[in-house]
Amino acid sequence: MEVKQLKNILNNKGNAIPLACAIVVCLLLISSVMMEYFRLNVIAGGVRDSLQAAVLSVATQNYDEVYNGLREGYSGGYSKDTNGAWRAEMDIGDVYTELDKLLGLEEVHSKRVGEIEEFRLSDLDIEMINTPFAPSTSDNKLTVNAKIRLKVPLSFGWEGLPSMIITVRTSAKYISKF
C-alpha cells in the first residue's frame, strides 16, 4: 500500500499548471504596477509642463513693466508713485485660468474622464522676484517661481490605496532681447 502511495506522490503529471498560473498572475500584477507608475509619471510631467507654460506666460506678460525700467537703464519692474518714491510693479496674472485652458480642467481645477477624477490641482503659490533697482550686474532677471499641489487617485489598488499627492515646482525667468 505504501509503495502505491509513493508512486502517486512521485507522479509529476500536471504539476506545472499551478506554477504556470502563479507566474502569469505575478507577471500581470507586476505589469499593472509598472503601468500605474508610468501613468502617474505622465500626468505629473504634463502638469509640470503646463505649469511651466502658464508661468512663462505670466513672466512675458510683465514685459511692459520690466521694459520701462530697462529703457531708463534699470532692469526691474519699478515705477514712481505720486510721492516720488520707487515701488515694484508686478502683475501675477491668472495662472489658474491658463492651466484650466491648457489642461482642459473643470471649475474645481480637476480633470475627469467620465465620472472618474483623473487628477486635481490646488494650493497654487506664485512668487515673483523682481530684479534689484539699479543692479550692478546684468545677470539679475525677473524670476517667477510657482508651485502647485497635484493629487492623483490611484487606479491600481481598487481605491484601497491612498492618492498620490505631490508638489510640482517650476520657475521662469524673463530676459529682454533688446
Question: What is the C-alpha separation between 76 and 91, in angstroms, rounded?
Answer: 13
pLDDT in tens, 35-83: 989 999 999 999 999 998 888 887 777 666 655 544 555 555 666 777 8
CA pair distance 168, 55, nearest whole angstrom: 12
The number of CA neighbours under 13 Å toward the Cβ of 178 is 5
Summarize pLDDT for 124-175 with one digit per residue, the tens: 888 877 776 655 555 667 778 889 999 998 887 666 788 889 999 988 877 6
First to last CA, the chain: 99
What the block records as the C-alpha cell of 175 is 530676459
Identify the three-state secondary structure at position 75.
coil
What is the reported pTM? 0.72
Residue range 143-152, pLDDT digits in tens: 788 899 999 9
